Amino acid sequence: MCKVISVSNNKGGVAKTTTACNLGIGLARMGKRVLVVDADPQGNLTTCMGVEEPDDLEYTLSDVMGKIMNDEIIDPHEGIIRNEEGVDLMPGNIDLSGLEISLISVMVGRETILKEYIDMVREDYDYILIDCMPSLGLLTVNALAAADSVLIPMQAAYLSAKGLKQLVKAVTRVQKLNPGLSYEGILITMVDERTNYAKEIMKLLDEGYAKDIRIFAVRIPSSVRASEISALGISIYQHDPHGKIATAYQSLTEEVLAS
> Distance (Å, rounded) from C-alpha 147 to C-alpha 240?
31
Rg (CA), the chain: 17
Which residues on neighbouring strands pair with residue 154, listed in sequence order?
A: 188
pLDDT tens, residue by residue, 159-213: 777 778 888 999 999 999 999 999 999 999 988 767 777 778 888 888 888 889 9
> Distance (Å, rounded) from C-alpha 154 to C-alpha 189?
6
pLDDT tens, residue by residue, 51-70: 989 999 999 999 999 999 99
Local confidence band at 86 (pLDDT 50, 70, 90 cut-offs): very high
Instruction: Give the 3-state secondary structure of residue 109.
Output: coil
Question: Are 95 and 59 contacting, i.e. CB atoms less than 8 angstroms apart?
Answer: no
Buried b (16+ CB within 10 A) or exposed e, 2-16: bbbbbbbbbbeebbb
What domains lie within the chain, and their CATH numbers?
3-258 (3.40.50.300)
What integer pLDDT is reported at residue 192 of this predicted model?
Answer: 77
Q: Is the pLDDT of residue 226 over 80?
A: no
pLDDT tens, residue by residue, 90-148: 999 999 999 999 998 887 899 999 999 999 999 999 999 999 999 889 999 999 999 99
Which residues on neighbouring strands pair with residue 129, listed in sequence order?
A: 5, 36
Q: Is the pLDDT of residue 82 over 90?
A: yes
> Distance (Å, rounded) from C-alpha 34 to C-alpha 104?
30
Average pLDDT for 8-37: 94
What integer pLDDT is reported at residue 150 of this predicted model?
Answer: 97
Whole-model pTM?
Answer: 0.94
What integer pLDDT is reported at residue 254 of this predicted model?
Answer: 97
What integer pLDDT is reported at residue 163 of this predicted model?
Answer: 73
| β-pairing verdict for 88-90 and 81-82 | antiparallel
> Distance (Å, rounded) from C-alpha 79 to C-alpha 60?
6
173 to 136, 217, 259: CA distances (angstroms): 11, 27, 24
